[in-house]
């Protein structure tokens, strides 16, 4: 990697401030839309579905398929390891805060869930894209003719893989264990039509399907049940952004197809590819609009628990502060002394630092609503995480990342 020595801390901080403030302004527009009633809850759900099913997959394809190669695909195997290490440390951070604050089992689970399930979608994607085109010296000297478009593409790829692993864990362990009442303190809300379903709902549908199949042959019935179970699990994991990533990998792996899609004078590039790029450009503004609108408190939020402040403090410290004390030095040392794979890529370091201190995932709001689990506390955690701490924490951590890049030369 190569970092210009003349870039001062204040230069980096100012550039980061500009990028973060841009994200904050667009998010505030979403908050204002929700506050004035222009964007009600139902409208937020519709926009979220459009983003997940259409605009975000287009963004992923337009950024990844053009710049990916087989060599780059093999290099990203380090990301699942990074996810495992960061999640383990965040889990321990949540447990430590729960012990210090003397929380009961359900309260402890709430703090742990907020600690391990950080935002790897809306805020990090928007901030990474903005920084890729703002901060200097993020090009990778191992890639010939690297440019800012390639930097942005690699940043999205790193985030996407991290995001998909987190999505599986969030809707399995998080939905069924961490963010559900352990006793009789609450009762899960029935899923309404059109709401996102967790893995438990899928398994219930599978059980009903297999019981009503009317198969008389036990062996055949067992084979069919096993096949449907595997297919159902695969379907619960897959989603349009992940399908888009797989399609991008296929296109990038076959050079003639990649050339056909992205040749400057080609018919497909001038029609289909340009249309996909235009649709993808809508994704980030809409993500931030929905992010801001979700921060507006709902009128039907349940009353606060008696440990309301403790839950907020434990969740924020366990997510955005305590893990960084362990993870950021680990990442810095790996970048300094392990010169392999993507660890030498400047944008990977920036992405790793951003993910380490990112606020709790917005999707946790949906899980708490479905399970009627500390909904008021979840709203307060998101307010403190996004409205109060995102700006100063992002400036500090990105500035630290650029300092580490200079130190690791």
Q: What is the rounded distance in angstroms from the CA atom of residue 389 to the CA atom of residue 337?
A: 31
Count of alpha carbons within 13 Å of 129, Cβ hemisphere only? 21
**Residue predicted with more confidence, 3 or 239:** 239
- Whether 185 shows a pLDDT value over 90: the answer reads no
pLDDT of res. 362: 80
Owner of token pair 């009442």: 181
**Residue predicted with more confidence, 129 or 195:** 129
pLDDT of res. 116: 94
Q: Where are the domains of the chain?
A: 9-182+219-407
pLDDT of res. 190: 39
pLDDT per position as a tens digit, 391-407: 888 888 888 888 888 78
pLDDT of res. 32: 93
In this predicted structure, which of 97-106, 336-345, 354-363 has the lowest mean pLDDT? 336-345
Eight-state DSSP code of residue 360: B
**Residue predicted with more confidence, 18 or 358:** 358
Structure confidence at residue 8 as a pLDDT band (50, 70, 90): low
- Whether 192 shows a pLDDT value over 50: the answer reads no
Structure confidence at residue 200 as a pLDDT band (50, 70, 90): very low
Range among 247-261, 315-329, 364-378 rated most confident: 315-329
pLDDT per position as a tens digit, 130-155: 888 888 778 887 777 888 888 888 88
Q: For residue 7, which phi and psi values (nearest 5 degrees)?
A: -80, 115
Q: What is the rounded distance in angstroms from the CA atom of residue 252 to the CA atom of residue 142?
A: 19
**Residue predicted with more confidence, 365 or 238:** 365
Q: What is the rounded distance in angstroms from the CA atom of residue 392 to the CA atom of residue 314?
A: 19
Beta-bridged to residue 118, according to DSSP, are 360
Q: Which two tokens stand for residue 13?
A: 């901080």
- Whether 316 shows a pLDDT value over 80: the answer reads yes
Cα 249 to the center of its chain, rounded Å: 20
Q: For residue 360, which phi and psi values (nearest 5 degrees)?
A: -60, 150
**Residue predicted with more confidence, 188 or 263:** 263
- Whether 191 shows a pLDDT value over 60: the answer reads no
Q: If you average pLDDT over every residue of the chain, what do you get?
A: 80
- Whether 28 shows a pLDDT value over 60: the answer reads yes
pLDDT of res. 4: 44
Q: What is the mean pLDDT of residues 95-101?
A: 94
pLDDT of res. 33: 92
Whether the model clears a pTM of 0.85, i.e. scores above it, the answer is: no
Structure confidence at residue 205 as a pLDDT band (50, 70, 90): very low
Residue 278 burial (CB count, 10 A) = 11
pLDDT of res. 211: 56
CATH of domain 9-182+219-407: 1.20.1530
Q: Alpha carbon of 384 to those of 140, 264, 285, 373, 399: distances in Å?
A: 35, 46, 22, 19, 22
């Amino acid at each position: 990697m190569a970092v210009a020595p003349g870039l001062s801390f204040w230069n980096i901080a100012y550039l980061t401030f500009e990028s973060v403030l841009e994200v904050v302004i667009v998010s505030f527009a979403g908050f204002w839309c929700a506050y004035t009633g222009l964007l009600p809850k139902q409208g937020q759900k519709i926009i979220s579905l459009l983003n997940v099913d259409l605009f975000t997959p287009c963004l992923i394809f337009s950024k990844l398929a053009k710049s990916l190669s087989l060599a780059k695909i093999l290099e990203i195997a380090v990301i699942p390891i990074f996810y495992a290490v960061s999640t383990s440390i965040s889990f321990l951070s949540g447990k430590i805060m729960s012990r210090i604050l003397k929380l009961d089992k359900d309260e402890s689970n709430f703090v742990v869930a907020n600690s391990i399930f950080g935002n790897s979608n809306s805020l990090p994607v928007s901030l990474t894209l903005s920084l890729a085109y703002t901060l200097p010296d993020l090009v990778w000297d191992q890639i010939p003719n690297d440019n800012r478009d390639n930097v942005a593409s690699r940043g999205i790829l790193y985030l996407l893989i991290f995001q998909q692993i987190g999505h599986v864990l969030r809707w399995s362990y998080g939905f069924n264990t961490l963010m559900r009442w352990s006793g009789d303190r609450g009762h899960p809300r029935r899923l309404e039509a059109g709401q996102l379903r967790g893995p438990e709902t899928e398994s219930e549908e599978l059980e009903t399907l297999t019981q009503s199949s009317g198969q008389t042959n036990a062996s055949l019935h067992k084979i069919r049940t096993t096949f449907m179970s595997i297919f159902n699990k695969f379907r619960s994991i897959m989603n349009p952004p992940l399908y888009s990533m797989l399609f991008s990998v296929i296109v990038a792996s076959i050079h003639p197809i990649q050339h056909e899609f992205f040749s400057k004078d080609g018919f497909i590039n001038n029609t289909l590819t340009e249309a996909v790029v235009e649709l993808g450009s809508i994704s980030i503004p809409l993500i931030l609009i929905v992010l801001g609108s979700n921060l507006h408190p709902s009128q039907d939020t349940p009353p606060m628990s008696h440990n309301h402040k403790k839950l907020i403090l434990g969740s924020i410290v366990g997510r955005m502060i305590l893990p960084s004390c362990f993870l950021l030095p680990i990442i810095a040392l790996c970048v300094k002394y392990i010169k392999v794979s993507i660890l030498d890529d400047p944008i990977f370091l920036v992405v790793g630092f951003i993910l380490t201190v990112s606020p709790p995932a917005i999707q946790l709001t949906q899980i708490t609503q479905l399970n009627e689990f500390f909904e008021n506390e979840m709203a307060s955690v998101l307010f403190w995480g996004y409205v109060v701490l995102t700006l100063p924490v992002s400036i500090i951590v990105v500035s630290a990342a650029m300092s580490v890049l200079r130190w690791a030369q």
